[in-house]
């Protein structure tokens, strides 16, 4: 069975500091991996995705994530946090061969950015 674990339900950083949000997954088949962001009172917006190919994936708003198969991880990073990055972030995994698009989500990490 597939699962996703996000380490840390709340992460707090200072403006300008490195952002690191951790995600580990389990999957018996090559996974497709996603990071979504949710701003208050909105739906989820896709930040980036990994399907195949290059393991370092760049997304919107300066975020990137690296797929590390040996560590079963897909951590999200941004070199310098901005106040507008304050939001909830979700990591998700799907079966690479699935055509239903069904996702398994982590429980989410709330990012706080302090001035």
Partner 1 sequence: DVKVTQSSRYLVKRTGEKVFLECVQDMDHENMFWYRQDPGLGLRLIYFSYDVKMKEKGDIPEGYSVSREKKERFSLILESASTNQTSMYLCASTGVSQPQHFGDGTRLSIL
Q: Which residues bind partner 1 (CB under 8 A)?
A: 9, 32, 34, 36, 41-46, 49, 51, 90, 99-103, 105-108
Between 50 and 113, CB nearer to partner 1: 50
Instruction: Give every CB contact of residue 114 below 8 A, 6+ residues apart in sequence.
Output: 12, 13, 14, 15
Between 70 and 100, CB nearer to partner 1: 100
Between 73 and 94, CB nearer to partner 1: 94
Of residues 100, 103, 78, 81, the one with CA closest to residue 4:
103
Q: Report yes or no: 28 and 69 within 8 Å, Cβ to Cβ.
A: no
CB of 58 to partner 1, least distance (A): 15
CB of 4 to partner 1, least distance (A): 9
Distance CA 103, CA 57 (A): 19
CB of 94 to partner 1, least distance (A): 9
Number of residues assigned to the chain: 115
CB of 70 to partner 1, least distance (A): 25
Of residues 36, 56, 62, 39, the one with CA closest to residue 48:
36
Between 51 and 80, CB nearer to partner 1: 51
SS3 4: strand
């Amino acid at each position: 069975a597939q699962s996703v674990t996000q380490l840390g339900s709340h992460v707090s950083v200072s403006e300008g500091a490195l952002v690191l949000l951790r995600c580990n997954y389990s999957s018996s088949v090559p996974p497709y991996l996603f990071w979504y962001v949710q701003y208050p009172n909105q739906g989820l917006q896709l930040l980036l995705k990994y399907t195949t190919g290059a393991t370092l994936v760049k997304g919107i708003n300066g975020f990137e994530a690296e797929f590390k198969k040996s560590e079963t991880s897909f951590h999200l990073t941004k070199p310098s946090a901005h106040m507008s990055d304050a939001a909830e972030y979700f990591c998700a995994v799907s079966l690479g061969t699935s055509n239903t698009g069904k996702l398994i989500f982590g429980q989410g990490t709330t990012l706080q950015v302090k001035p």
